[in-house]
A and B are shown apart, each in its own frame.
Chain A
């Protein structure tokens, strides 16, 4: 069955709420409106206002109260309306949520999921197109999962809610209405990267909204006789470098793509791990195709600022030139 990514998330939330009555949703406008992206559509009608809580406007309040609910035995799933609005909640996420399990010497688990629509290419105004994933990946005590299509969205969100750890769940907002197939009933572990398209000549790593573009690049390069393996990371913390290293040992070439700014990004971390483990397999320098180290630009500039098909193809060509 082919459904939109947003609908897959909606179904995943519904199924999680049916399976576990301790699952409670919190967020701004998520009740009667169904959220600004409609991901929680109809859930308040189905489960009631006690379990689908339209909160006062305060992101710290959403995450902070979710921590308290988790201490009381609930499994809160928060919605932050847009990526740029995660920052008022950063204190609660970094100093409280991420650290409590450690502070309690393993006694207390905080199974909180924070859903955040992220990424650009939707022609939005300021603070609505950002990619803050590296902040979360840099914070010990959090998991960071990122689906790339409808099937992944359903599976990963279900696993995130069942996880006993705090999970930052980043939803590629430009892909919300992208249709895809639902997965088979035995999903991959949330911790593992997925080979989205096998290949032998170059490894192209992406996550979120860039995975379908990376697949398109692989199709284009196949027409030129290049066999590109596309890896969808799915989780950037933990980061499944083993799958990437195994791939690079076969292909000898690695290009990493993300929308987030380059410096201090996930690409740098992954590149370091690959060169540590597969240095002598590399035929070319590891290349990154990323957003730049600028504030996110005005939307009329975003098409060329973001990694796109042409920029991915150029990087692959550059790798093959070695």
Chain B
């Protein structure tokens, strides 16, 4: 693997100015990254985020967890996934959802209050967002156990072998369930990649409170490989995730990847991050912007002809962004409000007698015409 020394500087390919490092090695096989597509994916993801924040400010969403600053980590990982691989997200993986082809309007429903989910998790092998920190790591382990039992690992047939990619944050490293997941994955040598976006903050809790060692170093204690990568470098992130997934699909077992990045916005739109961190810290990370880094490289003389871009290319992307933004604004307002009967219908596979009675009681209340005010009551 690319970086076995998990305690030092995270491995990267592009430096913050967008120059290829001298020892850079970029995948060139089937798992190689389409750099133009990566730039587009990051730009669109950032636009989804920006629009969602605006919709929250306008009262259209109750809440939004912003991904600003984490676009490279998410697009790097999301673009390394093959269609048959299965992704288990937290609640901030908007760019991964975009890479998987989930309609971004569907991401809004959970935060608008029109659904507890929002999309069909089986359609694009992108599971529903999980709000309980770390809980999804165990679901991912179980899914990987299913893949093993299906015989879809280590066959050497690329159309058959598959793996699980599970997302977690630095806060989840402290959860018991995450640690159980790491134990289980190791004990069964499962086809799974744990992708920890260390964005330095779990709401107001800094990384130092979660761990005295880099997250990737934890893997050694569980008995498998840990990799520390610059999460603001989409090329490096893609490379390590693609390699870890290849290893997992081939039966080589789990990997824990720590993508070192930064959550530049508050935890959610309800949070006030200036109560617990300095604006200067944010400015330092803004200078390491993941999108600017790739854009600089692609516009430079160093970029090969077939990927180099110019102003015309950027203008086309800006147009596409504007269309996406418009679609999000109108799509959000058109998200259907669920029927009051839906919770009763979807509690169990078949509605029970007691739930039918409660549903009917509820619907009678919901559908009742308000009683006209009598003159006495009006006074």
Contacts and interface: CB of A to CB of B under 8 A. Distances in A.
Nearest to B152: A72
Interface residues of B, number: 44
A128 to B, nearest CB: 22
19 contacts: A56-B184, A60-B180, A61-B184, A64-B135, A64-B180, A68-B146, A72-B143, A73-B150, A74-B149, A102-B347, A104-B346, A105-B117, A107-B117, A107-B120, A108-B122, A141-B348, A165-B349, A238-B355, A242-B353
A281 interface: no
Given A60-B138, A65-B141, A101 B177 contact: no
Interface string A38-70: 000000000000110101101011011111111
A64 B138 CA distance: 5
Given A71-B127, A107-B120, 17 more contacts: A50-B148, A55-B184, A58-B180, A61-B138, A64-B138, A67-B142, A74-B146, A76-B142, A101-B348, A101-B349, A104-B346, A105-B117, A108-B121, A140-B347, A141-B348, A143-B348, A238-B352
Contact of A65 (B120, B122, B184, B345): B184
Q: Which of A24, A61, A140, A141 has its CB near the most chain B CB atoms (within 10 A)?
A: A61
A90 to B, nearest CB: 11
A99 B127 CA distance: 14
A246 interface: no
Q: Which of B120, B342, B348, B349 has its CB near the most chain A CB atoms (within 10 A)?
A: B348
Contacts of A50: 148-149
B343 to A, nearest CB: 7
A7 to B, nearest CB: 27
B337 interface: no
Interface in B111-140: 115-117, 120-122, 127-128, 130, 132, 135, 137-140
Q: DSSP class of B's interface residues: helix, strand, loop or mixed?
A: helix
Contacts of A163: 349
B287 interface: no
A91 B342 CA distance: 24
B142 A72 contact: yes
Contact of A91 (B141, B145, B177, B348): B177
B142 A66 contact: yes
A100 to B, nearest CB: 8
Contacts of A105: 115-117, 338, 342, 346
Contacts of A66: 142
A107 B183 contact: no
A314 interface: no
Nearest to A96: B135
B177 A238 contact: no
A283 interface: no
B345 A60 contact: no
A165 B349 CA distance: 6
B181 A64 contact: yes
Interface in A70-105: 70-74, 76, 88, 91-92, 95-96, 99-105
4 shortest interchain CB distances as A-B pairs: A68-B142, A64-B138, A72-B146, A65-B142
Contacts of B343: 102
A95 B135 contact: yes
A285 to B, nearest CB: 24
A135 to B, nearest CB: 17
B144 interface: yes
Given A107-B120, A242-B353, A64 B346 contact: no
B138 A67 contact: yes
A150 interface: no
B139 A101 contact: no
A30 B187 CA distance: 16
A278 interface: no
Contacts, number: 139
Nearest to B123: A107
Contacts of B176: 60, 88
A145 B148 CA distance: 31
Given A72-B146, A108-B121, A239 B132 contact: no
B147 interface: yes
Contact of B183 (A56, A68, A71, A165): A56
B183 A64 contact: no
B354 to A, nearest CB: 6
Contacts of A164: 349
Nearest to A191: B352
A109 interface: yes
Interface in B326-378: 338, 342-343, 345-349, 352-355
A65 B184 CA distance: 9
A109 to B, nearest CB: 6
Nearest to A55: B184
A73 B149 CA distance: 11
A78 to B, nearest CB: 11
Contact of B132 (A65, A96, A143): A96
Interface string A91-134: 11001100111111111110000000000000000000000000
Nearest to B348: A165
A134 to B, nearest CB: 16
A21 to B, nearest CB: 9
B138 A92 contact: yes
Contacts of B348: 101, 141, 143, 165
Contact of A68 (B138, B150, B355): B138
Contacts of A51: 149
Contacts of B347: 101-102, 140-141
Contacts of B355: 238
B142 A69 contact: yes
B90 to A, nearest CB: 14
A104 B130 CA distance: 12
B346 A101 contact: yes
Contact of B349 (A68, A72, A109): A109
A50 B150 CA distance: 11
Q: Which of B120, B137, B145 has its CB near the most chain A CB atoms (within 10 A)?
A: B145
A244 to B, nearest CB: 13
Given A74-B149, A104-B117, A238-B354, A68 B140 contact: yes
Contacts of B148: 50
B116 A102 contact: yes
A65 B346 contact: no
B191 to A, nearest CB: 12
Contacts of A67: 138-139, 142
